Amino acid sequence: MIYVLEVIGNYLVEHGISEGLSKVLSTGFIVILVILSCIVADFIIKRVLLKLLERYIRGNKIKWDNFLLERKVFQKASKIIPAIIIYISASAFDGFQVFIEKTALTYIYIISVIVVSSILDVVDDVYRSFPVSRTKPIKGVLQVVKICIYIIMAVIIISNLLDKDPLILLSGIGALTAITTLVFKDSILGLVAGIQLSGNNMLQIGDWIEMPKYGADGDVIDITLNTVKVQNWDKTIVTIPAYALIADSFKNWRGMHDTGGRRIKRSIYIDTSSIKFCSAEMLEKFKKIQYIEDYIKQKEEEIREHNTKNKVNEETLVNGRHLTNIGTFRAYTQHYLKNHLQIHQGLIQMVRQLPPCEHGLPLEIYAFTNGTNWIFYEGVQADVFDHILAVASEFELRVFQSPTGHDIQQITSK
C-alpha cells in the first residue's frame, strides 16, 4: 500500500502538482480505494459466497450445520473482512497508522468474540438435539465458558489500546478478586447450583415442578447459568434463580411420569343418618351386583359361622356380626376400581374412611390412573366419581350436601 501511495505521489509531482498537494490527493485516492475494496469484498462475500454456502448447507444431509445458518455464524464472521482490509491499509496513513491499526484490531477482536459466542450457541443447539440434553443440560457450562472468553478478550483489547503486556493486566486482576466476586455473585452461585442440579439429577428440561414461593407451577423450558424458566399451565413464564432451587424446596412431578400413574385422592361425604345394617332383602339385592356377588356370599358364610360359634342371639342386630350398607358399598367401590380398565392395577388402591366431620362420613378413594396426561386423568377421575355418586343410592346411602334454597322451600311448603 505504501508502494502504491509513492507511485501515485511521484506521478502527480511529475505532472506539475506540488508535493504537499500530491500527498493529500494520493491519500484521498487510497481512502476511496480502501472504501471501495471494503464494499466490493462485502458484496462478494454476502451476495455470492454466503449464498452458495447456504445453498450447499441446505442441500446436504448433515443436520448440525443448519444451526450455523440459524445462528448466522458465517454472516457475523464475514464482518471481519473489511476490518482486515483497513488494518492492512493502515500503513498508507503515516500520522494515523497506529490509531487505525488499533481501532481495526479492536473491531476484529470484538467480532471474533461474537462469532465464538455464536459457535458456542450452535454447540448447545446441536447438543439439545440429543435425548441426553434433557438430563444433562450444558447451557450453564457454556455460559461460564463465554464469560471466561469475554474476560480474556477484554484484557487483550485493553492491552492493545494501552500498548501493555496482557500478563501485566492479568496480574492486576488478582487485586480485584473481591469486586469480581461481588459482580459475578449470581453467576458463581448459578454455576454451583447448576452442577448440583445436574450431578444429582434433580431437574431436567420438561420436568413439571411446583415452587409456590416464586409462583411456578408448570414445565421447565430452559436451564441457564443464572436462571431456570418455567412455563406455567396458564402459559405465563416464571424465571427462578438457579441457586434458589438448591436453597429452597420445590416439588418435581417427574416421578409421576416415570411411574406411569397419576394419583386420585378425593372423598365423598356420606350422610351418617343413612348408614345402617343390611337386611335380608338388601343382601339378596346386593347378590345381583356382579362385582360383589362372591363377596356377599363369602361374608354371609363367615358371619354365620362366627355367630353360630359364639352362640350369638340374633334377635337384635346389635349382637354378633352383621354387614352394613356402608361397608358393602366400600367393598363394591374397591372391586369397581380393581375392574376399571383405566385404573393402574400395579399401584396402590384403597377405599378408606376418614374421621367423621360436620359434613358426614368421608369415604376417600385413593388410586392411580394408568396414564399421566392431564386431560386423560381428569376424565378418568370424573368417570369414577360419576359412577360412585350415582350408585350410592343403590346401597340406600345418601351423599351429604349442605341444604340449598330448594331444600328449604320443600320444608316450608309441607
Instruction: Give the tens place of pLDDT for each residue, 222-265.
Output: 887 778 899 999 999 999 888 888 888 899 988 888 888 999 99
- Model pLDDT, residue 104: 87
CA distance 28 to 93: 10
- Model pLDDT, residue 369: 95
Q: Above 60 in pLDDT, residue 54?
A: yes
- HSE-up of residue 348 (Cα within 13 Å, Cβ side): 8
Q: Above 80 in pLDDT, residue 411?
A: no
Averaged pLDDT of the chain: 82
- Model pLDDT, residue 395: 94
- Model pLDDT, residue 13: 44
Q: Above 70 in pLDDT, residue 28?
A: no
Residues 6+ apart with CB under 8 A from 182: none
Average pLDDT over residues 4-29: 50
The 361-369 sheet, strands edge to edge: 262-270, 361-369, 350-353
What does pTM read for this prediction? Answer: 0.57
Exposure pattern of 155-190 as b/e (b: 16+ CB <10 Å)? bbbebbeeeeeeeeeeeeeeeeeeeeeeebeebbbb
Question: How many whole angstroms from its chain centre is CA 116?
Answer: 26
- Model pLDDT, residue 388: 95
- Model pLDDT, residue 413: 65
- Model pLDDT, residue 266: 95
Surface-to-core class of residue 102, CB atoms within 10 Å of its CB (0-12 exposed, 13-18 middle, 19+ buried): middle
| 81 in Cβ contact with 45 (< 8 Å) | yes
Average pLDDT over residues 380-404: 91
CA distance 155 to 179: 16
Label residue 82 by pLDDT band (50, 70, 90).
confident
> What percent of the chain has a predicted confidence (pLDDT) above 70?
82
Average pLDDT over residues 145-152: 84
What is the fold, at CATH topology level, of the domain defined by 135-252? SH3 type barrels. (2.30.30)
